[in-house]
Amino acid sequence: MHTETYPQLIPLVILIPALGAFINIFWGSKLTERVSGLIGITAAVLTFIISVLIFSHLNGHHGTGSVINPVIFQTWLRIDSIGLDIPWQFRVDPLTAVMLLVVTGVGSLIHIYSMGYMHGDKKFSRFFAYLNLFMMFMLLLVTSNNFLMLFVGWEGVGVMSYLLIGFNWDKGGALGWKNSNAARKAMIVNRVGDFGVLMAIFMIFWTFGTLTFYQPGETANVCYAREVNNLGACAEESHSEGEAAAAEGETAAAEGDHSEGETVAEAEGDHSEGEAAAAEGETVAEAEGDHSEGETAEGEGDHSEGETAAAEGDHSEGETAEGEGGHGGEPVVLADVDNSKFASYTDLGVFGQTAHYMSLEEGSPERLVQFGTLALDFKTVLFIIVLFLLLGVAGKSAQIPLFVWLPDAMAGPTPVSALMHAATMVTAGVFLLIRSNVFLDYVPEARLVIAIIGSVTALMAGFIALGQWDIKRVLAFSTVSQLGFMVAAVGLGAYVAALFHLATHAVFKALLFLGSGSVIHGVEHGHHHVHAHGNGPGHGHGNGPDDHHDAHDEHVDEAFDPQDMRNMGGLASRMPITYWTYLFGTFALAGLPFFAGFWSKDEILADAFHEALEGHLLLDNLAGYIVLGLLLVAAGFTAFYMWRQVQMVFHGDPRTEAAASAPESSAWMTIPLLVLAFFSFTVGFVNVPKYTPIFSGFMGIQDYEFKHFLESAIPSVTLKESLAFNTPLALLAVVIAFSAIALSHSIYGGNKAVQGRRDPLHVNRSTRQMWSLANARLYWDEIYFRLIENPYNRLSKFLYEVVDWRFLHDYFHDSVLKAGYDSMGKLLAKPFDLGIIDGTVNGVGALVRLLSGRVRVVQTGYVRVYAVILLLGVVAVLLIMLLPLLQVQAGS
């Protein structure tokens, strides 16, 4: 297969959506809905195809990452003389590939769905333009090879989110205003996060002198990660795995391979067979010596170039052998320490350099980083950088304390909620953390903070979701909660688990959102239907086949809220496809066995369990316990509120006429639901743990395929033991999920779901307070208003009205400046105010008149006199001031 060129296609994933958006922006109004939508869909699907190609390339080669420079537009921010060079540059590695698949896969389906959902909207083409632009920025974010380009995508998706949340700002009246407020809130809260990312970027630049993740040809540095995880040196690991490390006799061949950097696989594969194992001791020594290579003179002096290269060859071969066992003889080459071609560590990307700095002795002067006037130890710097990044993550991925924008973001059209506020944009924060995994590896203190933030968010949002009425709001808080799971996983160092959950969650949460969109659509139409037929013929239902689709555009009746679950019920029979697919999503989210969420959530729990018991640091243990405890409860909440929702929406009897006459949605909408439902069940099988009962080896399912795929992008993953399936823990999680559903069913089952527009938990005295607290969203918004928004507004007014206007503008001007001028002018003008000067005054006055024509408008007399006094004053002051100077000069 000639797949080497596939990664070169990567700039297209930016250009194609950009082109789609461009067409829709400039000619959208002239295009029909169908053409306009198809342009958007085509753009999305093409990016998906490219993503699949890139994925197939990486998968086939068990790929190391590669750096791709675009053909045009290579440079961006470059100031030659000071070494500031931030190019437009792409990185294609397994992590990127996974994100590409998620974004373009889910994105394409949502584009298709929008075709049905937005049908009849007067801003149809603009919607697709925005969706395409969003895809563009999101893809820029995940394919970037440096922090700043990532930041372009990061802020870009923020702006698209702003535009799409506020898409219906023109709804009119309070509703439109509410939408635009939600948009503004989202953007501002996100900017608070962006502040963190910016600060992190500044610090990264002054620490490393670059913002690039990995330089072309550079490989992720496994050995350092191994060390920091206390997993022993590289070679020992491969030894303990019991796999023979194949030594590369031919140094030259090894070097040749590595100089290619990215696509080493085939060449390596040839050597992996038949080569005898080398002496282990030598391998260890050399592989270790390699860290310091290029940094210190002695390090290099120890080995000749050739030896070093050989040692590296060894190491990758060692890992290869291990991988081969699991992958049926397919040649696997792992990225490893082969950065010998870089003359100095400063030529490496940020992550390579991190490893270098951390290998230095603590307290050594070289580890000191200078920020202008501040000098800090490298590890402290890393800690601060990670915390700043965490602030950004809290903003984008809706963690405490910045999650407050996400529930409000539900003001956007439902496809937007599905695409951005569930599947892709909000995962950008998690992605950023995973991308920075090398940083995180070295600062367990920061990871503990991340783990706590994540798991507390998961629990808190899960709790709030229990008390919501709005179908989308429940899902929004559920998203916050699930993002908490991912962030917590990152905090544990379980990057693969986090990414796995990110991917599965993208699928089933997009499914749930689209399902809820279908429900809302149905209820709106049902309402419209009832309204049109029941309340009078005035409302045009008969104006044409398209007309009734406008329903969600015009709120016929402001009081009726089609998103309020109290207005639903019994939709299962009315909307069967929506119902069944929604059930799949619910089961996946709740983590019922063998659905996607089961595998991914379980992996996070297993990692937490593992860290708690066997973490190498006290901090790890602590993080493990906290995360495990909180997440188990949060998982219970998840199953509980999801079943509550299913009960309220689909089961029981319809509670409104609208619900009773809701139609199933069109094929544009149901087909994406079916596809997503299929993947909600199957996608989890890509990362089945080893020794899983039944599934291990069943029907060609490989252990930890996903994990193996990611090894070269996340160095420390290679080193972590691949955990065996933890049956007791899995059972515990399943029991929790089932009992939560059972409990939920006993409370909300049948027609008990809503009792007089009140929740059964609200009716019940003993649970009323708790439920009210959840319903009030723990008063987060109120607290924010009191502590931040209100003081900010008041201070703003005070600064303007009192400080700036009354003091600086009026008082200072009138009493100091103007008065000063007046008195000075009078004082100085008086002695001259005879004869000679008078003539000059008139002369100047005449000149002014001449210049300005007949400026009667201005000539209040006041201005002219002013100007003249001023002029005289100036001259006089000058004379006085200069006199001594002239004398000094004359005297010298």
Partner 1 sequence: MFEGLSLTTIVLFLPMVGFTILLFLNQETQKEQIKWTAFGTTMVTFFASLILWAGFDPNNPALQMVHRFTWLNVQVGNVAINSDYYVGVDGLSLLLVLLTTFIMPIATLASFSSGVLAERGREKLYYAFLLLLEWAMIGVFVVQDLIVFYVFWEVTLVPMYFLVGIWGGEQRVYAAVKFFLYTMAGSILMLIAILYVGNVAGTFVLPDVVARVTAPDFSWTATTAASASDITGALLFFGFFIAFAIKVPVFPFHSWLPDAHVQAPTAGSVILAGVLLKMGTYGLVRFNLQMFPAESIQFAPLIGVLAVIGIIYGAWVSYAQTDVKKLVAYSSVSHLGFVVLGIFSLNAQGIQGATLQMVNHGISTGGLFLLVGMLYERYHTKDMAAYGGIWSKAPWFGAVALVVALSSMGLPGLNGFVGEFTILLGSVGSKYLGFFFTLFATLGVIMAAVYILYMFQRVFMGDYKAPGGHDGHGHGHGHDAHSDDNPLKLHWNEVVVLIPILILIFWIGLQPGGFFDTMDAATNQLVAHVEAANETTVAGALEQNGLTVGTGTTTTEVASNPGN
Query: Which of positions 189-208 make contact with partner 1 (CB under 8 A)?
Result: 191-192, 194-195, 198-199, 202-203, 205-208
Q: What's the residue count for the chain? A: 892
- Residue whose CB is less far from partner 1, 613 or 882: 882
The CA distances from residue 222 to 438, 481, 705, in Å, are 10, 32, 19
- Residue whose CB is less far from partner 1, 198 or 220: 198
Give the three-state DSSP class for 345.
helix
- Residue whose CB is less far from partner 1, 170 or 614: 170
Q: Spell out the SS3 assignment of 406-459.
A: HHHHHHCCHHHHHHHHHHCHHHHHHHHHHHCHHHHHHCHHHHHHHHHHHHHHHH
- Residue whose CB is less far from partner 1, 149 or 480: 149
Question: Residue 884 CB, nearest distance to partner 1 (Å)?
Answer: 10
**Number of helices and strands in the chain (H, E):** 38, 6
Q: Which of 801, 815, 838, 846 binds partner 1 (CB under 8 A)?
A: 801
The CA distances from residue 433 to 197, 436, 494, 496, in Å, are 11, 5, 11, 12
User: 601: closest CA among 663, 687, 530?
Assistant: 687
- Residue whose CB is less far from partner 1, 83 or 540: 83
Among the residue ranges 168-176, 335-343, 538-546, 636-644, the one whose residues contact partner 1 (CB under 8 A): 168-176
Tokens encoding 172: 């009119």
The yes or no reply on residue 75 touching partner 1 (CB under 8 A) is yes
Question: Residue 81 CB, nearest distance to partner 1 (Å)?
Answer: 5
- Residue whose CB is less far from partner 1, 203 or 737: 203
Q: Which residue has the tokens 């050995």?
A: 223
Calpha distance 539→172 (Å, rounded): 19
Bridge partners of residue 758, in order along the sequence: 755
The yes or no reply on residue 184 touching partner 1 (CB under 8 A) is yes
Among the residue ranges 104-112, 144-152, 283-291, 682-690, the one whose residues contact partner 1 (CB under 8 A): 144-152
- Residue whose CB is less far from partner 1, 56 or 181: 181
Calpha distance 286→308 (Å, rounded): 6
Q: Which of 27, 32, 73, 613 binds partner 1 (CB under 8 A)?
A: 73
Cβ proximity of 402 and 193 under 8 Å: yes
User: 689: closest CA among 630, 730, 629?
Assistant: 730
Side-chain half-sphere CA neighbours of 362 within 13 A: 4
Calpha distance 161→883 (Å, rounded): 66
The yes or no reply on residue 30 touching partner 1 (CB under 8 A) is no
The yes or no reply on residue 401 touching partner 1 (CB under 8 A) is no
Name the H helices within 327-408: 350-359, 378-396, 405-408
The yes or no reply on residue 613 touching partner 1 (CB under 8 A) is no
Q: Which of 27, 32, 34, 84 binds partner 1 (CB under 8 A)?
A: 84
Side-chain half-sphere CA neighbours of 71 within 13 A: 8
Question: Residue 741 CB, nearest distance to partner 1 (Å)?
Answer: 42
The yes or no reply on residue 533 touching partner 1 (CB under 8 A) is no
Among the residue ranges 5-13, 188-196, 470-478, 628-636, the one whose residues contact partner 1 (CB under 8 A): 188-196
Question: Residue 882 CB, nearest distance to partner 1 (Å)?
Answer: 6
Identify residues 322-381 at the interface with partner 1 (CB under 8 A).
346, 370-374
Question: Residue 83 CB, nearest distance to partner 1 (Å)?
Answer: 6
The yes or no reply on residue 886 touching partner 1 (CB under 8 A) is yes
User: 741: closest CA among 626, 651, 680, 607?
Assistant: 651
- Residue whose CB is less far from partner 1, 573 or 887: 887
Question: Residue 449 CB, nearest distance to partner 1 (Å)?
Answer: 19
Among the residue ranges 97-105, 305-313, 564-572, 803-811, the one whose residues contact partner 1 (CB under 8 A): 803-811
- Residue whose CB is less far from partner 1, 533 or 826: 826
Calpha distance 825→814 (Å, rounded): 15
The yes or no reply on residue 276 touching partner 1 (CB under 8 A) is no
The DSSP letter of residue 73 is: -
The yes or no reply on residue 76 touching partner 1 (CB under 8 A) is yes
The yes or no reply on residue 556 touching partner 1 (CB under 8 A) is no
Q: Which of 34, 757, 786, 809 binds partner 1 (CB under 8 A)?
A: 809
The yes or no reply on residue 826 touching partner 1 (CB under 8 A) is no
Calpha distance 861→873 (Å, rounded): 18
- Residue whose CB is less far from partner 1, 834 or 851: 851
The DSSP letter of residue 170 is: G
- Parallel/antiparallel/unpaired status of strands 84-86 and 90-92: unpaired
- The one-letter amino acid code at 555 reads H
Calpha distance 679→117 (Å, rounded): 21
The yes or no reply on residue 758 touching partner 1 (CB under 8 A) is no
- Residue whose CB is less far from partner 1, 345 or 598: 345
- Residue whose CB is less far from partner 1, 667 or 875: 875
What is the dihedral sign for C-alpha 68, 437, 229, 591?
Answer: negative
The number of angstroms, rounded, from the C-alpha of 501 to the middle of its chain's C-alpha atoms is: 14
Question: Residue 464 CB, nearest distance to partner 1 (Å)?
Answer: 26
Q: Which of 755, 796, 815, 823 binds partner 1 (CB under 8 A)?
A: 796
The yes or no reply on residue 217 touching partner 1 (CB under 8 A) is no
Question: Residue 864 CB, nearest distance to partner 1 (Å)?
Answer: 11
Bridge partners of residue 146, in order along the sequence: 212
Q: Which of 53, 821, 837, 844 binds partner 1 (CB under 8 A)?
A: 821
Burial class (CB in 10 A: 0-12, 13-18, 19+), 629: middle
Among the residue ranges 175-183, 233-241, 487-495, 827-835, the one whose residues contact partner 1 (CB under 8 A): 175-183
Q: Which of 813, 823, 842, 846 binds partner 1 (CB under 8 A)?
A: 813
Q: What are phi and psi of 313, to 5 degrees?
A: -55, -45
Tokens encoding 697: 């080896």
Give the binding-site size for partner 1 (rule: CB under 8 A): 90
Q: Which of 30, 71, 173, 536 binds partner 1 (CB under 8 A)?
A: 173
Question: Residue 103 CB, nearest distance to partner 1 (Å)?
Answer: 18
The yes or no reply on residue 27 touching partner 1 (CB under 8 A) is no
The yes or no reply on residue 889 touching partner 1 (CB under 8 A) is yes
Bridge partners of residue 68, in order along the sequence: 90
The yes or no reply on residue 452 touching partner 1 (CB under 8 A) is no
User: 210: closest CA among 219, 201, 221?
Assistant: 201
Question: Residue 733 CB, nearest distance to partner 1 (Å)?
Answer: 40
Tokens encoding 209: 């002198």
User: 290: closest CA among 243, 336, 247, 228?
Assistant: 336
Identify residues 849-878 at the interface with partner 1 (CB under 8 A).
851-853, 855, 857-858, 860, 862-863, 866-867, 870, 874, 877-878
